């Protein structure tokens, strides 16, 4: 079969055990897995010819049966505050977004796990675009791969620039469980990106059954989108709450950190004016979270076109924070970054989608015309 007609295996998406299986299936030694992964992820090499510690014959074979591909970059913007946002083409008119947030002592890459999202949280731009599909392992890992290499150019250094990865872009990571786990394996692999599990955060709206599985398979840092202190309000804001209510969710959170004295769950709480930011909400939240091993991160709501919610005022946010702090709950307010490039949390919607659909329609139209 020639290269065009055969499905090529994308090596970008194989974690260590999958890569070993791949080489063993080719009657090759398992250690080839490590070598190839190091070329791809550590050194950013996608050209088999440059993989000089691999024999010529094997290189030639790999070039005919496999590929190392990453999504094409559709746009690349840098904010005045240094935040950088990319839009990546994941085929068939779909795009995903990722954001890099530089800070004094760390650089955080916020990546996507799905095209769109099924959960439809009422204040989230991604939810509004509906759900299209899960990202493949390769598409998840490629976000880090692309960012790492472009940031090395931007900052002119080989030092580690992405120190942390957060799954807080588009999608619900725990509903794309297997692919997210394999992608995180690659991120943690010492021959790839070597990130420790503490520096990788999975953010979930509360897919309870997957939380215990996550703990078993890859106990990374856990963030949970709480957003409301009672079920009535949470049902409205995070419809998944109808399936797994706050009590069930908190029990799963407690179990997640139960083995460790130090581990804490981060609860995210979006600040929506007059919706969930009143004193009574703060008080309910205190009842819920006091004595719980957690941190609370208040996220000023980031508005987008066509949404009726408003961001709570700074005064209100600070008052809310102070009340929680007084009650002994570690509470921080998330700084809003990348405002000028719509890179803020909850605004990632892959603008490319609509444009492409339109241009695809045009194409079909043009084909018909011709």
Annotated catalytic residues are: 97, 345
Binding marks (x or -) toward ligand SAH, 162..181, rule CB under 6 A? ------x---x---------
204 binds ligand SAH (CB under 6 A): yes
CA torsion, points 204, 205, 208, 213, in degrees to nearest 10? -10
What percentage of the chain's residues is helix, strand, coil (to nearest 5)? Answer: 40, 20, 40
User: Of 208-237, which residues contact ligand SAH (CB under 6 A)?
Assistant: 225
346 binds ligand SAH (CB under 6 A): yes
107 and 193 Cβ atoms separated by less than 8 Å? no
In the list 90, 101, 195, 205, the residue contacting ligand SAH (rule: CB under 6 A) is 205
207 binds ligand SAH (CB under 6 A): no
Question: Which CB atom, from 19 or from 349, has the smaller least distance to ligand SAH?
Answer: 349
Question: Which CB atom, from 75 or from 118, has the smaller least distance to ligand SAH?
Answer: 118
Nearest to 197 by CA among 207, 187, 205, 210: 187
252 binds ligand SAH (CB under 6 A): no
Question: Which CB atom, from 36 or from 184, has the smaller least distance to ligand SAH?
Answer: 184
201 and 168 Cβ atoms separated by less than 8 Å? yes
Q: Is 335 exposed, middle or buried (0-12, 13-18, 19+ CB in 10 A)?
A: exposed
Distance (Å, rounded) from C-alpha 88 to C-alpha 97? Answer: 6
Residue 123 CB, shortest distance to ligand SAH, in Å, is 5
DSSP E strands in the chain: the ranges are 9-10, 66-67, 72-78, 84-89, 95-102, 107-110, 114-116, 131-134, 164-167, 200-204, 221-225, 265-271, 294-300, 330-333
301 binds ligand SAH (CB under 6 A): yes
Range in contact with ligand SAH (rule: CB under 6 A) among 58-66, 100-108, 184-192, 199-207: 199-207
User: Of 64-93, which residues contact ligand SAH (CB under 6 A)?
Assistant: none
Question: Which CB atom, from 192 or from 210, has the smaller least distance to ligand SAH?
Answer: 210
């Amino acid at each position: 079969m020639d290269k065009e007609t055969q499905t090529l295996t994308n090596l970008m998406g194989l974690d260590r055990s999958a890569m070993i299986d791949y080489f063993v299936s080719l009657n090759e030694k398992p250690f080839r897995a490590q070598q190839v992964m190091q070329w791809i992820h550590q050194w950013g090499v996608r050209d088999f010819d440059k993989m000089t510690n691999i024999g010529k014959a094997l290189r030639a074979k790999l070039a005919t049966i496999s590929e190392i591909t990453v999504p094409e970059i559709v746009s690349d913007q840098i904010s005045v505050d240094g935040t950088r946002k990319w839009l990546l083409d994941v085929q068939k008119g779909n795009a995903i977004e990722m954001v890099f947030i530089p800070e004094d002592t760390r650089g955080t890459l916020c990546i996507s796990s799905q095209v769109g999202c099924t959960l439809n949280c009422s204040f989230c731009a991604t939810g509004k675009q509906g759900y299209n599909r899960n990202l493949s392992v390769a598409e998840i890992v490629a976000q880090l791969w692309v960012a790492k290499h472009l940031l090395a150019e931007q900052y002119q250094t080989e030092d580690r620039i992405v120190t942390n990865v957060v799954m807080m872009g588009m999608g619900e990571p725990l509903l794309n469980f297997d692919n997210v786990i394999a992608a995180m394996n690659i991120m943690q692999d010492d021959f790839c990106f070597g990130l420790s599990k503490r520096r990788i955060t999975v953010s979930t709206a509360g897919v309870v059954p997957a939380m215990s599985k996550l703990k078993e398979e890859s106990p990374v840092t856990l963030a949970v989108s709480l957003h409301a202190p009672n079920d009535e309000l949470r049902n409205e804001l995070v419809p998944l709450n109808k399936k797994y209510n706050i009590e069930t969710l908190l029990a799963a959170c407690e179990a997640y950190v139960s083995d460790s004295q130090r581990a804490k769950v981060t609860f995210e709480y979006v600040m929506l004016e007059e919706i969930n930011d009143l004193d009574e909400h703060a008080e309910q939240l205190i009842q819920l979270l006091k004595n719980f091993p957690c941190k609370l991160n208040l996220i000023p709501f980031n508005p987008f076109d066509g949404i009726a919610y408003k961001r709570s005022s700074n005064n209100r946010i600070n008052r809310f924070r102070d009340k929680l702090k007084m009650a002994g709950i570690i509470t921080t307010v998330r700084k809003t970054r990348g405002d000028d490039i719509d890179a803020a949390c909850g605004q990632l919607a892959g603008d490319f989608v609509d444009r492409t659909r339109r241009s695809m329609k045009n194409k079909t139209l043009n084909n018909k015309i011709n």
